[in-house]
Amino acid sequence: MRNEKNSTESTIHDTDGYLQSLIVTDPLQEPVMRRVVRALNLPPGSRGLDVGCGIGLHAMLLAEAVGAAGHVTGVDLSPEFLAYAKSIAEKAEISEQVSFQEGDMNNLPFDDATFDWVWSANSAGYAPGEPLPLLKELARVVKPGGSVIILAWSSQQLLPGYPMLEAHLNATSSGIAPFARGMRPELHFSRMAGWFCRAGMEGVTARIFAGGVSAPLSEEIRSALTALIEMRWVDVEAELSEEDWAEYQRLCLAESPEFILNLPDYHAFYTYSMFRGRVVG
């Protein structure tokens, strides 16, 4: 899933539209994120940082995990996203446990060794560029022995029965975003474990978390999948063959009578990859 929400050169032009997409697609992500957060076993009462927090949904889960004695700070570049994050924290009555402020992940506005752990999902390390300076910046604000955790969408099957079409869509510029053609293989997010080690962290681990849905689809999940398909493959016509473009219009447009989500046996899955390392004192 594309997510440029904390990039210093964000390509998101329709902030309101993208914010709504994040809200609508959350029912697909939340069950997986809850499993991820549980697997972290974050210390109760600990203080953490959510880098590229977006609209604050993950910060809320993290705050729930560390309990009333803990605290989570969310940082993002988008004032619109931060305003929404603050509003949902107030509605959930956990403003004492979570706070949000504007900031750049490449130059975090915090002192050294401020937090017990740092988390970033679909943001840090997921955009083109050298990961090492960023990982060192994340580690800088973590206390010795604490964790740096980054997570990102890493694969999906949204078009069951059409593996060739989905492969061609995934090979478009939109499909491989936020990466770029010609990018060095070692800079790809899937190679992040090596960069954690280069940043001086120890005990580096990599884990995969999967989610899935199947028919019959609730209206909430159907809306989430529709929005996800729209987000996943954008402006792809010029990069597809005529045959693939016709198939895309037939299967991936909600107004089509043969929209893929109409299949009575529809099934989809998606994965997130998580990398975690311990900051050395």
Rounded distance, CA 235 to CA 92, Å? 37
Provide CB contacts within 8 A for 59, sequence distance 6+: 50, 53, 72, 74, 85, 89, 98, 100
Average confidence (pLDDT) over 252-265: 98
Looking at residue 12, what is its pLDDT? 45
Q: 177 vs 63, which has greater pLDDT?
A: 63
Q: How confident is the model at residue 14 (pLDDT cuts 50, 70, 90)?
A: confident
Rounded distance, CA 187 to CA 205, Å? 18
Task: Give the DSSP letter string of 118-165.
Answer: EEEESSTT-SSS-HHHHHHHHHHTEEEEEEEEEEEEEEEE-STT-HHH
Looking at residue 125, what is its pLDDT? 87
Pair 237, 34: CB distance under 8 Å: no
pLDDT digits (tens, 9 = 90+) for 196-234: 999 999 999 999 999 999 999 999 999 999 999 999 999
Q: What is the CA radius of gyration of the chain?
A: 19
Q: How confident is the model at residue 165 (pLDDT cuts 50, 70, 90)?
A: very high
Q: How confident is the model at residue 1 (pLDDT cuts 50, 70, 90)?
A: low
Percent of the chain beyond pLDDT 90?
86
Rounded distance, CA 55 to CA 82, Å? 6
pLDDT at position 174 over 70? yes
Looking at residue 132, what is its pLDDT? 96
pLDDT digits (tens, 9 = 90+) for 112-163: 999 999 999 999 988 878 899 999 999 999 999 999 999 999 999 999 999 9
pLDDT at position 276 over 50? yes
Looking at residue 35, what is its pLDDT? 97
Domains present along the chain, CATH in parentheses: 15-278 (3.40.50.150)
Residue 239: exposed, middle, or buried by beta-carbon count in 10 A (0-12, 13-18, 19+)?
Answer: middle
Average confidence (pLDDT) over 239-244: 98
State which H helix or E strand residue 52 sits in: none
Q: 280 vs 18, which has greater pLDDT?
A: 280
pLDDT at position 8 over 50? no
Helix (H, G, I), strand (E, B) or coil at 55: coil
